[in-house]
Amino acid sequence: MTRFVLAAIVACCFSLLGHADATCVQDDRDKTLCLEKSASRIIALSPGATELVYAAGAGDHLIAAVTFSDYPDAAQKLPRVGSYNRFDLEAILSLKPDLLIGWHSGNPVEQLAQLESLGLTVYYSELRGFADVASTLRRLGKLAATEATAETAASEFENGIDELRNRYSNAKPVRVFQQIWENPLMTVNDEHLISEATRLCGGGNVFGALPRLAARIDHEAVLAADPEAIIAGGMGEENRDWLDAWLPYSGLIAVQRNNLFFVPPSTLQRPTPRLLEGTRLLCQHLETARARR
């Protein structure tokens, strides 16, 4: 009996030591996630997550991604496990990942739950602000044991955003319509990351009070709001057709002043370090709009 008790105590001690050595972070559901060893077989379940893993220095640990994971160039060579809104569960299981980076509001909830029920570890990401980009880089770096690279990327992003915030803190306001889709016509409210970038540049979202994060609107609503500038992406990184479609609306101030500005969608619509690039361009566009008054 004494030997049994002693063996149980020793086993318990080893268990506690193993837990103490585990790498733990909180994901964006505020759920604690622990790995017994650093992640070396990662699958990213959104294009944004793919970029974040590379930026955190863990690109070599990525074994697969979803469609449209096109940045950096190395991401285009990764095997695909479906799209962000419908995974290939069998393909994911066959790759034996030790960490999945999910998208809380964009991935199918039932498929994420199924992956967890099968014993896979899912980190839920949901980036809503600039601070979340830096925080996510640091957490991914910790999970993949690439903390030094992740810290450098996070600090560079934070410093760049702070520089822009200081530069445009006293900029005269510009009323902006942010178009994120053409058919149906869609925009974002003030809770969206794109609106945070707009505010940082001294812009005001004319549809900021809408109740939904991303909402459908009609052309009549844009005409009534009469924004001073229209910012849009397009169906590609260099396709500004969405903006050209506004040219017939000659009554709009944005059209009269030629304040129809293009920002490559992946630099403003994906919550990654490239938001700094997109925000810089957005700020330059709004400065142009001010100069045309």
pLDDT of residue 95: 97
Judge whether residue 214 has pLDDT over 70.
Answer: yes
pLDDT tens digits, one per residue of 21-33: 789 999 999 999 9
pLDDT of residue 20: 54
Same domain, 181 and 114: no
Q: What's the CATH code of the domain at 49?
A: 3.40.50.1980
**Mutual orientation of helices 147-167 and 275-291 as an angle, nearest 10°?**
10
pLDDT of residue 14: 40
Same domain, 46 and 115: yes
pLDDT of residue 6: 41
Same domain, 287 and 186: yes
Q: Which of 35, 31, 50, 39 is nearest to 106 (CA)?
A: 50
Greatest Cα pair distance, the chain, in angstroms, is: 91
Beta-bridged to residue 124, according to DSSP, are 102
What mean pLDDT is reported for the chain?
Answer: 92
pLDDT of residue 7: 40
Last residue of a domain, one of 128, 158, 188: 158
Last residue of a domain, one of 158, 187, 216: 158
Tally of CB atoms within 10 A around 262: 20
In this prediction, residue 102 has a pLDDT band, given cuts at 50, 70 and 90, of: very high
pLDDT tens digits, one per residue of 34-78: 999 999 999 999 999 999 999 999 999 999 999 999 999 999 999
Judge whether residue 8 has pLDDT over 70.
Answer: no
Last residue of a domain, one of 132, 158, 184: 158
Sorted by sequence, the CB contacts under 8 Å of residue 97 that are 6+ apart come out as: 41, 42, 43, 63, 64, 120
Same domain, 138 and 18: yes
Q: What is the C-alpha to C-alpha distance for residues 27 and 124, in angstroms, rounded to an integer?
A: 6
Q: Could you tell me if residue 165 is inside a domain? A: no
Provide the whole-model pTM: 0.88
Same domain, 122 and 184: no
pLDDT tens digits, one per residue of 239-270: 888 999 999 999 999 999 999 999 999 999 89
Contacts 24+ apart (CB under 8 A), 28-34: 28/104, 28/124, 28/125, 28/126, 28/127, 28/132, 28/136, 29/104, 29/124, 29/126, 31/124, 33/121, 33/123, 33/143
Total tally of structural domains belonging to the chain:
2
DSSP-derived letter for residue 254 is: H
Q: What is the C-alpha to C-alpha distance for residues 287 and 74, in angstroms, rounded to an integer?
A: 35
In this prediction, residue 132 has a pLDDT band, given cuts at 50, 70 and 90, of: very high
Same domain, 46 and 147: yes
Same domain, 43 and 150: yes
Same domain, 30 and 146: yes
Same domain, 204 and 234: yes
Q: Which two tokens stand for residue 11?
A: 């086993």
pLDDT tens digits, one per residue of 156-211: 999 999 999 999 999 999 999 999 999 999 999 999 999 999 999 999 999 999 99
Element (H, E) at 196: helix 193-200
Same domain, 151 and 211: no
Judge whether residue 152 has pLDDT over 70.
Answer: yes
The whole domain housing 63 covers 2-158
Beta-bridged to residue 232, according to DSSP, are 179, 262
